Chains A and B, each alone.
Chain A
């Protein structure tokens, strides 16, 4: 392989042959408004849970799209579903439904043993 001078960090590589997109597809199909997320971070700035513990709603999007379900599962549990994020979202994304869909989808596709 030609060396462009970049390093590839193994842990951050997504192998699309092994990528399980079921959770992502289900969430986007059931809540299409999530597709228009700008990653502006307004949700995280206002988040009540983020006031108590490191919790980043915007990062959910990234973890979901990268298929990092294990980390997503441990993060998503922090949400208290208070709904402030929805009220500040400039795109009117139904974030609470996204959270519930991810929680349910993780149970369905990748049940994490607790």
Chain B
């Protein structure tokens, strides 16, 4: 007897999912722009494809990034992914070896121990059979850990685990059943036909001594085939779509395709690639305000199911803390912004009142200074910058001293790209017509948009921390170390947003005693004041801020330093610790130097008076 009817659930399931994947991936790729399609064609036969294979091996199979996060969690994912992959590959080699053919149908490899009732006789056959047994145990160890993770996720370094919906539950249950059923079916067959190997044979013998196993053989093979079929059928409505789609994503990403500011086949591929592992949940600060349903994993799920609400979409600080943690490397912020653009595209403003016009400034102007709206609410920063400019004898034009439009970034963060373009065009004309070659910005929100979205050829855009460091290196700023312990808060838009981590630290090292912290740089917190969240309430913002402040205060600093007027304003409201911008600290230190430097204790006295 060569075939029996129990192979049909598996065969139908496999055919269904294969057809489904070919069609859906075909639709996504055909909807890519011409440029993206030509990227695929040009890079298909280059080293980029090899890089993609390497990345697939390291991330989709070995799960290196999850290993870095937590070794047990990494082992669980690796044993399931890499173990299952090897089971399929080695299983096929085993079947090809037995039938002496390279074309063996999938079911003959999957149900090999059912069809081949005689034990392996050749040397290679014995080794392959033993490795299949060991691989199955390897996968089963992962399944056991997965069971345990549902009970105790903390052991895996995760405080929270994702909530599951019905499609996920069906797929998850069938996935958890596949391997135990396969092991039992193979062991029972081994007990009857003595065709097992190092582990299945002793288990089969044990079962045979306890139970009438011939009654169980067919039901177990049926159940194994059925659980595989169920898994394949549930896959399109479950998170396990990430297994095949992530492979497509890695190829496209290596070919240089990125999320654009519109919903496209590629953004759909990213959304389907989310494995809902929930690693992004722990790093999200919205938890501190007891907001637990707007995290990236849930928003991507709603985007995928096309039932996203504005309440969830806009209830995010866009701080980007989740992005470095994502093991799939999804562009979480850009995906959310793309969806925000879609959600608000009907009501972009056109700002007809903005009068475009060139400006005339002195031809000697070296620097354009753009303080930013938020800096106007923190006059101490403005005053300090003016003092420093005067001290370093910089000829500057204060672009937004009065009657100046916003930079456009706050609009972009809520998806109003079309509206922001009008502001950008207006400001851009003013900047270019000034003729100066350097634009210094005090607000990281403005800095990011000037850098990323304004086309300013020949103009160097600098945050004031970069600029002050440059002045210091040119010996245009006196140096004086304040005897104060300082922790530095990385603003989201400056740190993760623009990659500026070192310049503020180099400055603070010169002017203060900078204390290193655990959660800094890429893992830095958001202050909670972010303009990207338009749904969060003030008390919730305060909860997020207080949580961050508690950690900062545990380092017992004399002062909290930051480089963003909005962060400063957010922290300063708590009145728990003095908060100052880098520009203020430098200006303060210089003033201190001018007053003859006294003893440490008196120093602090003078500083208090200064604030």
Question: What residues make up the interface of A, taking CB atoms closer than 8 Å to B?
Answer: 30, 33, 46, 48, 51-53, 77-84, 87-88, 92, 94, 96-97, 100, 103-104, 106-107
Contact = CB atoms under 8 A, between A and B. Distances in A.
A50 B146 CA distance: 58
A47 to B, nearest CB: 10
Chain A contact residues, majority secondary structure = helix
A83 B410 contact: yes
Contacts, number: 83
A53 B311 CA distance: 31
Interface of B: 310-311, 314, 344, 346-347, 349-351, 353-354, 373-374, 376-377, 402-406, 410-411, 414, 416, 423, 531, 534-539, 566, 569
Contacts of B347: 103-104, 106-107
Nearest to A104: B347
A103 B344 CA distance: 9
Given A80-B410, A97-B535, A104 B353 contact: no
* Top 3 A-B residue pairs of the complex, sorted by shortest distance between their CB atoms: A92-B538, A53-B353, A82-B406
A97 B377 contact: no
Contacts of A96: 410, 414, 531, 534
B538 A33 contact: yes
Contacts of B311: 30
B538 A78 contact: no
Nearest to B413: A81
- Which of B310, B354, B406 is most buried by chain A, counting CB atoms within 10 A of its CB? B406
Given A87-B569, A107-B347, A48 B534 contact: no
Nearest to A108: B346
A30 B314 CA distance: 13
Contact of A87 (B377, B537, B539): B377
Given A77-B349, A79-B349, A52 B403 contact: yes
Contact of A100 (B344, B354, B374): B344
B310 to A, nearest CB: 8
Nearest to A99: B534
A52 B535 CA distance: 27
Contacts of A80: 351, 405-406, 410-411, 423
Given A82-B373, A97-B534, 20 more contacts: A48-B405, A48-B406, A51-B403, A52-B405, A81-B406, A81-B411, A82-B410, A83-B373, A83-B410, A83-B531, A83-B566, A84-B373, A87-B569, A88-B377, A92-B539, A96-B531, A100-B314, A103-B347, A106-B347, A107-B347
Contacts of B377: 46, 84, 87-88
- Which of A80, A87, A97 is most buried by chain B, counting CB atoms within 10 A of its CB? A80
B416 A48 contact: no
A32 B223 CA distance: 54
Contact of B534 (A46, A94, A107): A94
Contacts of B354: 52
Contacts of B349: 77-79
A112 to B, nearest CB: 10
A103 B343 CA distance: 12
Nearest to A83: B531
Given A83-B531, A107-B346, A52 B414 contact: no
A74 to B, nearest CB: 10
Contact of B538 (A48, A77, A82, A94): A94
Given A53-B353, A87-B569, A94-B534, A81 B414 contact: yes
A106 B351 CA distance: 18
Contacts of A87: 374, 377, 566, 569
A84 B353 contact: no
Nearest to B446: A82
28 contacts: A33-B537, A48-B404, A48-B405, A48-B406, A51-B403, A52-B353, A52-B403, A52-B404, A52-B405, A78-B349, A79-B349, A80-B410, A81-B406, A81-B414, A81-B531, A82-B406, A83-B373, A84-B373, A84-B376, A84-B377, A87-B374, A87-B569, A92-B539, A100-B414, A103-B344, A104-B347, A106-B347, A107-B347
Contacts of A92: 537-539
Contacts of A46: 376-377
Given A80-B351, A100-B344, A103-B347, A48 B373 contact: yes
Nearest to A76: B349
B538 A100 contact: no
